[in-house]
A and B are shown apart, each in its own frame.
Chain A
Amino acid sequence: MILGQSSSSRIVSHAVLVTGAIIMAFPFLWMILASLTPQSEIFDGSLLPTPTLHGAIDNYGTALSAIPLLRFMANGFVVCLAILVLQIAIAIPCGYALAKLSFPGRPILLVGVLLGLLVPVQIPTIPIYIALAKSGLLDSYAALVLPWIISVFAIFLFRQFFVTFPDEVLDAARLDGFSELSIAWRIMLPAAWPAVVSFSIFSIVAHWNDLYWPMVVITNPDMMTASLGIAYFRQAGEGAGNVGALMAGGVLVTAPLVSFFLLMQKHFIRGLVLGRH
């Protein structure tokens, strides 16, 4: 591998990668610096904001007091967790049934799942919004969670994983006294673990950062998720124009997910690689 590269091409490749990496990381760096800098000094003509202790206390203090940021994050956490748990609870048995059990209607369900894969997530939102509005469920966790608990992507992903699982192990389990449901939970779920991890990251990132759906169904600040909260903070009285405090909020909202993501990135890639076979 190293033999194939001359030192000049290696330097060029590093230069390209480093430049790109700086561009990728720069907004994060700027966000962190700005979150530590007094509001008046952020746009003072210097190239980068210069952090001060006083600025840090001020910005983070404002972010946490002017809006219920922790509440937003807690909402986001509850919503993401509820969505993920329900998605997996529904998709694992279905994926198992589609992969390993023959039952009447299976081909139709499979077609339904494939069709579902084609439907962009925004399409069904109008009727679902109307239904939620009619049943008085707007501004609730239910409104944030319910539309997402069925993930055709998860069903499809898990089915692909299960198809290659050896049938003899399932027969052994049936003889050992497992019911079909306990086979799904106690054998198939652990077998699909890499796929479950990949899917979980997908799901959590998508729903933690989602702005579209919370914007549609939430107007009550008490029910806002982290993303919607930051968007609201931009417009609401104290946040508007207070870039330092806004960036402090951004750091707080971004940090848990980015650290989780970085921690899991190896598993994420592994699940993707396995998923392609």
Chain B
Amino acid sequence: MALANDIPLSSLAPNTAGSYRPARAQAQAGIILSVPATLLLVALVIGPAILVFFLSFTNASLGLAGIQFIGVANYTRMLTDPGFAQSLRNTALYVAVVVPTAIGWGLLVAVLIARSRFAVLYRTAYFLPVAASLVALATAWEAILHPSLGFANTLLQLLGASPVRFLSDPATAIYALAAIGVWQLVGFNMILFLAGLSTIPEELYEAATIDGADRGLKRFLLVTWPMLAPVTVFVTVMTIIRAFSVFETVAVLTQGGPMKSTSVVLYTFYEEGFRFFRVGYASAISVSFFVFVTFLSLVQMRVSERRARWKANGGQ
């Protein structure tokens, strides 16, 4: 790389045309600089994604020779498989709990922190889970939520309540995982909201004060919430995608149990693809996953576009 620095562009483009063409020199440089990324993009992202699409219509299986085209059989199986339906339900439940809680809490914390004197202290505390190794901290959570002797149940008993078997009760396991998910996402969302808040000009708040919305909810509704709209859309999509891709806590703490109550889509995909090596079926699952994420992204684009138009029309 260092040596390539010294090849003058003029020597790369001999003066056959009799004229130095800045546009041509730039075009050459552009191609040279983007070739590695282009090749890798094709080899590692787009190519495999297309391959997965084709594999989803086959009965490909790792270790077994021969691939047969089986049409949409994987998809029909997916739709009729009670196990997959169960993992879809679990995922939906997880997403439904995690997304609003993690966003609402993150926003609340960001707004309160932005006005607090101890901002740095609070921010640091809420930030901790973002960087933490989830595998290690999930283990700590597991101990805290221990069915009989954990901190949570000791506390409940001190308060006179009966113990809850958080992670080992099929009725509560998915909620326990969701709580851990919220715990991990709040800090990240808070950071994004804080970044968004810092771009709101102070003059707007001053104008709001003069207009009578001088504190609390009024001023939040008049200035903060509309100005945060683009960030909110971004945070929502990010949170939905991350909640949908929950994997670590399931893999470490429950392996989908008890009684399949925490088997989620990505974990099912992992088991089908890399434990049972049913490549065709796993591919169909991941194609559905892709369609879902693309749908969400399109919705995000539409929403932010509408917001942008609304803004351009003087809505601030």
Asked if the two chains touch in their complex, CB atoms less than 8 Å apart, one says: yes
* Closest CB in chain A relative to B188 CB, distance in Å: 10
Indicate if the CB atoms of B133 and A227 lie closer than 8 Å. Answer: yes
Contacts of A249 in B (CB 8 A): 136
* Closest CB in chain A relative to B75 CB, distance in Å: 16
Indicate if the CB atoms of A16 and B31 lie closer than 8 Å. Answer: no
A169 within 8 A of partner (CB): no
A–B complex contacts, Cβ < 8 Å, 12 sampled: A4-B216, A16-B112, A45-B149, A90-B40, A124-B45, A125-B48, A211-B247, A212-B247, A227-B134, A230-B136, A231-B251, A257-B132
Please report the total number of B residues contacting A with Cβ < 8 Å: 108
* Closest CB in chain A relative to B12 CB, distance in Å: 9
**A-to-B contact residues, CB < 8 Å:** 1, 4-6, 9, 13-14, 16-17, 20-21, 23-28, 30-31, 34, 42-48, 89-91, 93-94, 96-98, 101-106, 109, 112-113, 115-120, 122-130, 133, 146-147, 149-150, 152, 155, 179-182, 184, 205, 208-209, 211-212, 215-216, 226-228, 230-231, 234, 243, 246-247, 249-251, 253-254, 257-258, 260-262, 265, 268-269, 272-273, 276-277
- Contact status of A24 and B52, CB under 8 A, knowing A181-B33, A212-B247: no
- Contact status of A254 and B137, CB under 8 A, knowing A43-B149, A120-B245, A211-B248: yes
- Prevailing SS type, chain A contact patch: helix
Indicate if the CB atoms of A127 and B48 lie closer than 8 Å. Answer: yes
User: Could you tell me the distance between the alpha carbons of A94 and B116 in the complex, rounded to whole angstroms?
Assistant: 41
B178 within 8 A of partner (CB): no
B1 within 8 A of partner (CB): yes
Indicate if the CB atoms of A130 and B279 lie closer than 8 Å. Answer: yes
Indicate if the CB atoms of A123 and B286 lie closer than 8 Å. Answer: yes
User: Could you tell me the distance between the alpha carbons of A231 and B145 in the complex, rounded to whole angstroms?
Assistant: 18
User: Could you tell me the distance between the alpha carbons of A251 and B184 in the complex, rounded to whole angstroms?
Assistant: 17
User: Could you tell me the distance between the alpha carbons of A140 and B7 in the complex, rounded to whole angstroms?
Assistant: 36
**B-to-A contact residues, CB < 8 Å:** 1, 4-9, 23, 25-34, 36-38, 40-42, 44-49, 51-52, 55, 62, 105, 108-109, 112-113, 115-116, 118, 121-137, 139-141, 143-144, 146, 149-151, 154-155, 158, 183, 186-187, 191-192, 194-196, 198-199, 209, 214-216, 219, 231, 241, 245, 247-248, 251-252, 266, 269-270, 273-274, 279, 282-283, 286-287, 289-290, 293-294, 297
- Contact status of A24 and B26, CB under 8 A, knowing A4-B209, A48-B151, A109-B34: no
- Not counting A28-B128, A101-B30, A226-B133, a sample of 11 additional A-B residue pairs whose C-beta atoms are within 8 angstroms of each other reads A5-B115, A20-B125, A27-B129, A93-B36, A103-B30, A109-B37, A130-B62, A211-B251, A216-B274, A251-B136, A258-B132
- Contact status of A122 and B131, CB under 8 A, knowing A17-B122, A20-B105: no
User: Could you tell me the distance between the alpha carbons of A182 and B122 in the complex, rounded to whole angstroms?
Assistant: 42
Indicate if the CB atoms of A122 and B289 lie closer than 8 Å. Answer: yes
Q: Which residue of A lies closest to B286 (CB)?
A: A123
- Contact status of A152 and B45, CB under 8 A, knowing A24-B186, A205-B131: yes
Contacts of A182 in B (CB 8 A): 5
- Contact status of A129 and B40, CB under 8 A, knowing A24-B183, A211-B252, A230-B133: no
Contacts of B132 in A (CB 8 A): 28, 209, 254, 257-258
Indicate if the CB atoms of A94 and B37 lie closer than 8 Å. Answer: yes
Question: Which of the residues A117, A180, A258 comes within 8 Å of B33, measured between beta carbons?
Answer: A180
* Closest CB in chain B relative to A148 CB, distance in Å: 8
- Contact status of A126 and B55, CB under 8 A, knowing A103-B26, A272-B191: yes
Contacts of B155 in A (CB 8 A): 47
Question: Which of the residues B37, B52, B123, B191 comes within 8 Å of A126, measured between beta carbons?
Answer: B52
Which of B23, B112, B270, B287 has the most chain A CB atoms closer than 10 A to its own CB?
B112
Contacts of B137 in A (CB 8 A): 27-28, 31, 250, 254
Contacts of B293 in A (CB 8 A): 118, 120
Contacts of A258 in B (CB 8 A): 128, 131-132
* Closest CB in chain B relative to A20 CB, distance in Å: 6
* Closest CB in chain A relative to B7 CB, distance in Å: 7
